[in-house]
C-alpha cells in the first residue's frame, strides 16, 4: 500500500471522501483528502502528488477554478475531473482546462472501479509522456554531440587539405618545368575548392548542406588571387542565390567552377589584358539549379584545338555526371558561356 501512487481527492462531500479513501486504498493507492478546492491547493503546493481527483460542485472555489490553479503549479499533478452532472459542456470545459479525463459520479463500487481504471490510464499516459520527453531530450543531446563531432571532423579535414594545398604550392614553386608547375598549381586549386566546402561546414550549424552563395564567393576570391597579376589582372564576380546543396553536390559544383574559371583566366584573355569571369547560380524551378560561368574573352575559334592537358575537361564531365547533368558550352562573338542545369 505504502508504495502505491499518491492521490489527492478533493470533494466537499465528507461521506464520499471517506468512501473514496477506503475504496482507493484497497486498490493500492495512498489517498489524502481535501474538503475544498482551497484546501486541496494548499496540500498540492506543500506536497507532491501523482494524481488528483477534483469534484465539480464545491463552494468558494469550484472544480474548474481549482483545476485552473492546480495546473498553474510548478509541478502540477494530472487531474481527473469528477462531477455528478452528466452535462457534456462540463466535460468539455474540464478537458479544455487541462484535465486528463472526466468521469461521472455514481453509487457503489462501479464508480470506484471506473475511478481506478481512469487513474491507471492517466498514470500510464503521464509515464508515456515523460518517457517521450526523456527520449526526445536524449535524442537531441545525441544529435548535438554528433553535430559537434561532424564539425570537428570537417575542421580537421579542412586543416589537412589546407596543409596539403600549401605543400603542393611549395612543390610547384620549386619546379622549373612550366608544364609540371602548371599541373601542380591546378591540383592545388582543386584541393582548395574541396577545402572551402569543409571550411563552410565547420563554421556552420548545418553540417549536412553548404550555403552556395558563401561558398562560391570565397572560392571566387581564392581563384581571383591565384590568377590575377599586376600585368594581367583577373576579376572573378559571383551572382548566386542563397541555395543550399548537400556536401557531395557542393564539392562537384566547386570542382566544375574551379576548372571553368581557371580555364577562362588562363586562356580567354591575352597576356597583359584585363579580364572578368562571372559565376552565376540560380534556382531553375522548384527542384533544379542553373550554374553558369562566362567570360568576355577571345572565345573558341572554329577548328581550334583545346588547350591544356585535357584533365580539366575530364574532371568537369565526371563531376557533371555525378550531378546527373552535363556542361554545355556556347561560344559567342565575344567570350564563352558554360552552363549546367542539375537537381538540387
Q: What is the CATH number of the domain that holds 70?
A: 3.40.50.2300
Greater model confidence, 206 or 342: 342
**Per residue in 161-185, is it b (16+ CB within 10 Å) or e — as a string?**
bbebbeebbeebeeeeeeeeeebbb
User: What CATH number is associated with residue 236?
Assistant: 3.30.565.10
Domain assignment present for residue 237? The answer is yes
How buried is 252 (Cβ within 10 angstroms: 0-12 exposed, 13-18 middle, 19+ buried)?
buried
pLDDT in tens, 13-32: 999 999 999 999 999 999 99
Domain assignment present for residue 151? The answer is no
The residue-averaged pLDDT of 175-201 equals 82
pLDDT number for residue 273: 92
The confidence band for 193, taking pLDDT boundaries of 50, 70 and 90, is confident
Domain assignment present for residue 176? The answer is no
Do 55 and 10 contact (CB within 8 A), yes or no? yes
- Based on the fold, state whether residues 88 and 213 are members of the same structural domain: no
Across 167-322, where does the E strand assignment appear?
209-211, 234-240, 244-246, 275-284, 288-295
Domain assignment present for residue 72? The answer is yes
Q: Which of 177, 212, 175, 173 is nearest to 196 (CA)?
A: 212
pTM of the full structure: 0.57
- Based on the fold, state whether residues 85 and 215 are members of the same structural domain: no
- Based on the fold, state whether residues 341 and 225 are members of the same structural domain: yes
**Per residue in 114-133, is it b (16+ CB within 10 Å) or e — as a string?**
ebbebbeebeeeeeeeeeee
- Based on the fold, state whether residues 220 and 92 are members of the same structural domain: no
Cell of 203: 563554421
* Residue 306 DSSP one-character state: P
Do 77 and 70 contact (CB within 8 A), yes or no? yes
Of 105, 134, 169, the position where a domain reaches its end is 105
Of 87, 105, 123, the position where a domain reaches its end is 105
Greater model confidence, 197 or 212: 212
Q: Is the pLDDT of residue 78 over 90?
A: yes
- 11-20, 183-192, 296-305: which is most confident: 11-20
Greater model confidence, 311 or 102: 102
The confidence band for 240, taking pLDDT boundaries of 50, 70 and 90, is very high
Q: How many domains in the chain? A: 2
Provide the percentage of residues in the chain whose pLDDT is more than 70.
96
The residue-averaged pLDDT of 285-300 equals 89
The residue-averaged pLDDT of 277-292 equals 92
Under DSSP, is residue 230 helix (H, G, I), strand (E, B) or coil? coil
- Based on the fold, state whether residues 97 and 214 are members of the same structural domain: no
- Based on the fold, state whether residues 87 and 213 are members of the same structural domain: no
Domain assignment present for residue 230? The answer is yes
Q: Which secondary structure element, helix H or strand E, spans residue 151, and what is its range?
A: helix 109-174
Q: Is the pLDDT of residue 291 over 80?
A: yes
* Residue 49 DSSP one-character state: -
How buried is 14 (Cβ within 10 angstroms: 0-12 exposed, 13-18 middle, 19+ buried)?
exposed
- Based on the fold, state whether residues 337 and 220 are members of the same structural domain: yes
Domain assignment present for residue 135? The answer is no
The Cα 266–Cα 261 span in angstroms is: 9
Under DSSP, is residue 339 helix (H, G, I), strand (E, B) or coil? strand
Domain assignment present for residue 41? The answer is yes
Report the mean per-residue pLDDT for the chain. 87
- Based on the fold, state whether residues 97 and 213 are members of the same structural domain: no
pLDDT in tens, 102-134: 898 887 788 899 999 999 998 998 888 889 989
- Based on the fold, state whether residues 89 and 214 are members of the same structural domain: no
How buried is 67 (Cβ within 10 angstroms: 0-12 exposed, 13-18 middle, 19+ buried)?
buried
The residue-averaged pLDDT of 306-322 equals 81
The number of CA neighbours under 13 Å toward the Cβ of 111 is 16
The boundaries of the domain holding residue 291 are 209-344
Of 71, 88, 105, the position where a domain reaches its end is 105
Q: Is the pLDDT of residue 1 over 50?
A: no
Domain assignment present for residue 116? The answer is no
Amino acid at each position: 500500500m505504502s508504495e502505491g501512487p499518491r492521490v489527492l481527492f478533493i470533494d466537499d462531500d465528507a461521506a464520499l471522501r471517506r468512501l473514496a479513501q477506503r475504496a482507493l486504498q484497497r486498490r493500492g493507492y495512498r489517498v489524502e483528502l481535501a474538503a475544498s478546492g482551497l484546501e486541496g491547493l494548499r496540500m498540492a503546493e506543500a506536497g507532491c502528488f501523482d494524481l488528483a481527483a477534483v469534484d465539480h460542485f464545491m463552494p468558494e472555489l469550484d472544480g474548474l477554478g481549482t483545476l485552473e490553479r492546480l495546473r498553474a503549479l510548478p509541478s502540477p499533478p494530472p487531474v481527473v475531473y469528477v462531477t455528478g452532472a452528466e452535462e457534456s459542456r462540463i466535460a468539455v470545459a474540464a478537458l479544455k482546462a487541462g484535465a486528463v479525463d472526466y468521469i461521472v459520479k455514481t453509487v457503489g463500487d462501479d464508480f470506484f472501479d471506473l475511478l481506478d481504471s481512469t487513474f491507471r490510464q492517466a498514470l500510464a499516459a503521464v509515464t508515456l509522456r515523460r518517457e517521450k520527453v526523456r527520449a526526445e531530450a536524449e535524442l537531441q543531446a545525441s544529435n548535438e554531440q554528433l553535430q559537434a563531432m561532424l564539425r570537428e571532423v570537417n575542421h580537421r579535414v579542412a586543416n589537412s587539405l589546407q596543409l596539403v594545398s600549401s605543400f603542393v604550392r611549395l612543390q610547384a614553386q620549386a619546379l622549373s618545368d612550366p608544364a609540371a608547375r602548371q599541373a601542380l598549381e591546378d591540383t592545388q586549386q582543386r584541393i582548395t575548392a574541396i577545402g572551402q566546402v569543409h571550411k563552410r561546414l565547420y563554421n556552420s550549424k548545418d553540417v549536412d548542406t553548404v550555403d552556395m552563395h558563401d561558398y562560391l564567393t570565397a572560392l571566387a576570391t581564392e581563384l581571383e588571387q591565384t590568377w590575377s597579376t599586376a600585368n594581367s589582372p583577373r576579376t572573378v564576380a559571383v551572382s548566386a542565390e542563397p541555395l543550399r546543396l548537400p556536401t557531395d553536390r557542393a564539392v562537384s559544383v566547386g570542382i566544375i567552377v574551379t576548372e571553368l574559371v581557371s580555364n577562362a583566366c588562363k586562356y580567354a584573355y591575352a597576356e597583359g589584358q584585363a579580364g572578368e569571369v562571372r559565376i552565376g547560380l540560380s534556382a531553375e524551378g522548384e527542384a533544379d539549379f542553373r550554374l553558369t560561368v562566362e567570360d568576355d574573352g577571345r572565345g573558341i575559334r572554329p577548328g581550334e584545338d583545346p588547350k591544356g592537358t585535357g584533365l580539366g575537361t575530364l574532371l568537369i564531365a565526371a563531376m557533371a555526371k555525378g550531378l546527373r547533368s552535363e556542361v554545355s558550352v556556347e561560344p559567342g562573338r565575344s567570350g564563352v558561356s558554360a552552363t549546367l542545369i542539375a537537381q538540387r
